[in-house]
Amino acid sequence: MRHFCSRCKSRARGGAGHPACRDPRDRQAARTKAERGRVRRGGASGDVGGGAWTVRSRARTLARPADGGPMARLRVRLVVTADDFGYCPRRDEGIVEAFLAGAVTSVSLLVNGSAAESAAELARRHQIPTGLHANLSEGRPVGPARHGASSLIGSEGFFLGKMGFRRAVAAGEVILPQVREELEAQLSRFRELLGRDPTHVDGHQHVHVLPGVCRVFAEALQACGVRFTRLPLERGVDGCAWLEAPARAFAGAVEQDARAAIGPFVHHGLRARTAGSACPGRCAALHPGRPRRQEARRGGCQQSRSGTLCGALPTVTLADS
The residues that are catalytic are 83
Q: How far apart are CA 218 and CA 262, in angstroms?
A: 10
Task: For residue 315, give the H/E element and its range.
Answer: strand 315-318
- Residue 132 CB: number of other CB atoms within 10 A? 29
Any idea what DSSP says for residue 321? -
Output helix, strand, coil percentages for the chain, rounded to the nearest 5.
40, 15, 45
Q: How far apart are alpha carbons 318 and 143 in whole angstroms?
A: 27
Beta-strand relationship, 106-109 and 79-85? parallel
As to burial, measured by CB atoms within 10 angstroms (0-12 exposed, 13-18 middle, 19+ buried), residue 232 is buried
Please list, residue by residue across 101-113, b when 16 or more beta carbons sit within 10 angstroms of its beta carbon and e when fewer do: eeebbbbbbbbbb
Helix axes 245-267, 213-224, angle to 10 degrees: 50
